[in-house]
Amino acid sequence: MRIGLVILFLASIAGAIVFIFWNEEMKYALPTPVPHDYKSVAVGTPIDRPRFELPNTSMYLHFYNPDCPCSRFNAQHIRQLIRSHGDSVAAYVVVPTADDIEAAKKEFGEALAFRVDINGALSGACGVYSTPQAVVIDSDGKLYYRGNYNRARYCTASATNYAELALLSMMNGASPPVFDLLATQSYGCSLPQSANSVFTFTNQ
């Protein structure tokens, strides 16, 4: 009886460890499920900047969700990216709700511009359905890049810094780069999306 209880106890602990490991790590190593109503947005598609009150300039959007464990993996890389290129392109951190702004400020700093994307209006326009994701829009208002930051979770592989490579390519006036599936296959946390949702923004 006692041995049976010990085995049951150890099995419970092992099950809890497996659950935590899956919930915090492994499931984010798999592609994010594509929403049933997802509408693909091709590179070169015009983005309705006036609708979202975005400037008529090239820009970089970081789709961020503080509740997503994946957000901690590349936060340092994103801060460096904004510091390095923020003077060349307009940079925005896009969060799902206004309640997420404070967490985003703590992560990226008070000086950045933040956008609140209610029900995924902006993410839907850009074809984003997971976070963290990067979007680069050129000066003509066309989607230049949408995808992952790096093939490595912590953005340690400089050769596959996809978002930064796309930014540099755009700033050099080149055509949108063609990356492998590791750049464009979405990983991370699912993001709500609705093509007809209302968009609001804030610079608080």
Both 37 and 26 in one domain: the answer is no
Structure tokens at 86: 């923020």
What is the reported pLDDT for 12?
Answer: 55
The residue length of the chain stands at 204
Q: Domain count of the chain?
A: 2
Looking at per-residue confidence, does 151 or 174 come out higher? Answer: 174
What is the reported pLDDT for 7?
Answer: 61
What is the reported pLDDT for 147?
Answer: 94
CATH number at residue 61: 3.40.30.10
Q: Which DSSP symbol is given to 63?
A: E
Both 20 and 37 in one domain: the answer is no
What is the reported pLDDT for 76?
Answer: 85
| Mean pLDDT value across the chain | 81
Rounded to whole angstroms, the Cα distance separating 122 from 127 reads 9
Both 101 and 179 in one domain: the answer is yes
Q: At residue 90, does pLDDT exceed 80? A: yes
Query: Token match 């400089």: residue?
Result: 158
Beta strands in 57-188 (DSSP E): 59-63, 90-95, 113-116, 130-131, 133-137, 143-147
Both 16 and 49 in one domain: the answer is no
Expressed as residue numbers, the domain containing 20 is 1-30
Both 22 and 50 in one domain: the answer is no
Highest mean pLDDT among 21-35, 74-88, 152-166: 74-88
Both 21 and 115 in one domain: the answer is no
Residues 129-143 have pLDDT tens digits of 998 899 999 999 999
What is the reported pLDDT for 196?
Answer: 37
What is the reported pLDDT for 157?
Answer: 59
Residues 26-80 have pLDDT tens digits of 445 678 888 888 889 999 999 999 999 899 999 999 999 988 888 777 888 888 8
Both 21 and 103 in one domain: the answer is no
Both 7 and 87 in one domain: the answer is no
What is the reported pLDDT for 127?
Answer: 96
What is the reported pLDDT for 192?
Answer: 57
Both 20 and 51 in one domain: the answer is no
Concatenated DSSP letters of 133-162: EEEEE-TTSBEEEEE-S-SSTTS--GGG-H
Highest mean pLDDT among 100-114, 147-161, 164-178: 164-178
Both 166 and 149 in one domain: the answer is yes
Both 67 and 137 in one domain: the answer is yes
Both 15 and 76 in one domain: the answer is no
Q: Is this model's pTM higher than 0.85 or not? A: no
What mean pLDDT is predicted for residues 104-128? 90
